[in-house]
Every structure is written in structure tokens, then in C-alpha cells.
Amino acid sequence: MADSERESISKLRKRLENPYAYIEQLGAAALETDTSNNLVGASRKLLENPYAYLAGNGGYEADVIQGPTHMPAVPSRWSNEQIAVKVRELHARLWRDRETLWSNAVPKDPIDLLDPAIALEAIGFRFDLEEGLGQMPGRSGQIEVAGLIDMKAKVVRVGRQFSASVRAFTAAHELGHAVLHPTLDGLHRDKPLDGSPSAADRVEIEANKFATLFLMPARLVRTRFSDLFQAEPFELSEESAFALAGCSLSDFNRSQGTRRQLARVLSGAQRYNGRHFTPLNEQFRVSREAMAIRLEELGIVPVDG
């Protein structure tokens, strides 16, 4: 592509306030002639950003990769903040591409966009629900495999026989592996997962964190909680105890006195102050325990004592 054409495109991008405009015109020609393209392409796949290293004039940025030593590496250990960034990027991608990903009808409820099966397809994985994924060793003997990811074939399989919440969390867990751990070797198998603390291995803990953040985004959980319980965070008082359980504060504390017990009640509550609704955990298609833990993480339920 001639310099004059690049300059024209650069001006149009500034006018449109869109640095990615006319990417189609630029992409093919540039990628066929630049000797660094193999590295650029590989890096873009790793970053899940097809526009990485693209400068405003249609060429590559000045500090574009010069050799293998500059290739962005997958962290050996992901922090919670880094995982949260990857989840937000994927959520943004699902929103941006919603018309294409949901070709029949775009979901009206934002929660329905949080579909790990669709997200896997968006990043190039096939998703299958299957029966009989085999067994794996557990602490008390053999347990059924609930999820399986094949990085080489880019396939994720989840056992159909498990509950909807286990299927959803297991699928989101495999999605976490696909995004965070692309170098996993061979077939990686996982036991049934519902969001309860269970993993000790770092890789599994990271995938669980990814699944939690993907299925229960903080802002959406806070918004839905506030809609249901008319407060966020929740304050336990005589009035709220009666609205929630139809009893006095002292009676509620005797039966549900800990923070986790209150979180479980709120997670699975079907009514508050006389109004009936779908429980919060069911709205997000997760287990009651997983939502209870998330409410604690977000500080929505008060601390014990």
C-alpha cells in the first residue's frame, strides 16, 4: 500500500475517532509483505487482539516485535487483577460481537450474554455437551469427569448428566483454561465444579477465579442484588430480617447467625418484603454456594460480629 493511501486512511481514522477503521483494506497487503508478520500474528492470537501493534497510519507501531525475545509470554502465575482484566476483555468482546455470535436473536437479559459455550466459540473452540467423559482419580476413589479441554484440537466437552449450575461453572472453568493456560498439554480433565472452594493446584485455582468473574461480574451482581433486596450492601435489622425470613432479628441470628449462612439465604431467597422473584443464584445459573461466596467477596453481606 502506498504511503499516500496510508496517510489518507490515518486522516479518516482521526476524523472518525476510530483507530481501527478500514482495517480490511490494510490487513491483507501489509501482512503479506512484512517479515515480522509471523511473530505479529502469533502475538495477536496470544493477546486475543487482532489489532495489536497497529499504528494510526496503517503500519505497525515503532516498537513492534523485533524477534522471539519480545514475544509477550503467558504469565507463569496470574494475579486476580490480571484474571479480571482478561475476563473484562472477553465480556467486551461478547458485547461487541453479539449480533454475530447470537445470529438468531441477541439476548435481552445481559446475564444471558455470559454464556461460556458462546465465549468458547468466540475464541475458536468447539463446545460439546456429551455423556460419559470417563473417570478420574479423586481423594475418595474414582469420580466422573465433568469437563475436558483439548488445547490442540481446540475442543471443550462438558458432561450432560450434571446439573445446570455444575455444567455452567465447569464450562466457564474450561474457558478459563483456554484463555489463561494455552500451553496445557494433551487432554486436561476436570471433576464436577460448582464454584465451591475445592482446588489446591494453582492452575485450577486460576481457572476457578476466571469462571467466578465471568459468570458473576461484580457490577451486574450488585445491580441485581440491589433490585431484589432494595439495598447494597445488605444490612441485617429487625425490618430486613422480617422482610427476608418473616421472623425477628434474634430468631434469625439463632438459625442463620454467620456471614456464610446469611449469604446462602440471600443467594437462594425467592421473596423479600412480600415480593416474589427468581433467586439470585438461579438468575446467574450458578449454585447457591457459589453465589453466597461471591456476595461475601463483594462485601454485600456484613462481616460477622
Residue 302 lies in a domain: no
Strands 271-272 and 275-276 turn out to be antiparallel
Let me know how long the chain is.
305
How confident is the model at residue 139, as a pLDDT? Answer: 74
User: Both 7 and 85 in a single domain?
Assistant: no
Residue 305 lies in a domain: no
How confident is the model at residue 4, as a pLDDT? Answer: 66
User: Both 45 and 153 in a single domain?
Assistant: no
User: Both 108 and 199 in a single domain?
Assistant: yes
User: Both 277 and 158 in a single domain?
Assistant: no
Residue 304 lies in a domain: no
User: Both 94 and 137 in a single domain?
Assistant: yes
The sheet carrying 187-190 orders its strands as: 126-130, 155-159, 147-150, 187-190
The closest alpha carbon to 267, from 195, 197, 176, belongs to 195
Domain end point (choices 25, 48, 70): 70
User: Both 198 and 84 in a single domain?
Assistant: yes
pTM for the predicted model, two decimal places: 0.75
Predicted confidence (pLDDT) at residue 76 exceeds the cutoff of 50: yes
Residue 54 lies in a domain: yes
User: What stretch of H or E contains 276?
Assistant: strand 275-276
How confident is the model at residue 198, as a pLDDT? Answer: 75
User: Both 246 and 233 in a single domain?
Assistant: yes
Predicted confidence (pLDDT) at residue 68 exceeds the cutoff of 90: no
User: What stretch of H or E contains 15?
Assistant: helix 3-16
* Mean of all residue pLDDT scores within the chain: 82
Q: Which residue has the higher pLDDT, 138 or 6?
A: 138
Q: How confident is the model at residue 65 (pLDDT cuts 50, 70, 90)?
A: very low
Predicted confidence (pLDDT) at residue 199 exceeds the cutoff of 80: no
The closest alpha carbon to 261, from 251, 248, 252, belongs to 252
Angle, CA of 236, 240 and 242, to the nearest 5°:
120
User: Both 156 and 277 in a single domain?
Assistant: no
Q: What is the CATH number of the domain that holds 146?
A: 1.10.10
Residue 43 lies in a domain: yes
How confident is the model at residue 162, as a pLDDT? Answer: 95
User: Both 226 and 279 in a single domain?
Assistant: yes
How confident is the model at residue 302, as a pLDDT? Answer: 81
Mean of the pLDDT values across residues 12-16? 58
CA distance 283 to 297: 18
Residue 75 lies in a domain: no
Residue with cell 430480617: 241
Q: How confident is the model at residue 50 (pLDDT cuts 50, 70, 90)?
A: low
Residue 141 lies in a domain: yes
How confident is the model at residue 184, as a pLDDT? Answer: 86
Predicted confidence (pLDDT) at residue 20 exceeds the cutoff of 80: no
User: Both 202 and 231 in a single domain?
Assistant: no
Predicted confidence (pLDDT) at residue 200 exceeds the cutoff of 70: yes
Predicted confidence (pLDDT) at residue 226 exceeds the cutoff of 80: yes
Give the pLDDT confidence of 254-301 residue by residue, as tens digits: 998 899 999 999 999 999 999 999 999 999 999 999 999 999 999 999
Lowest mean pLDDT among 72-81, 127-136, 226-235: 72-81
Residue 180 lies in a domain: yes
How confident is the model at residue 55, as a pLDDT? Answer: 45
User: Both 174 and 134 in a single domain?
Assistant: yes
Number of domains in the chain: 3
User: Both 120 and 175 in a single domain?
Assistant: yes
Domain with 11 in it:
3-70
Give the pLDDT confidence of 122-175 residue by residue, as tens digits: 999 999 999 888 998 877 788 899 999 999 999 999 999 999 999 999 999 999
Domain end point (choices 49, 70, 91): 70
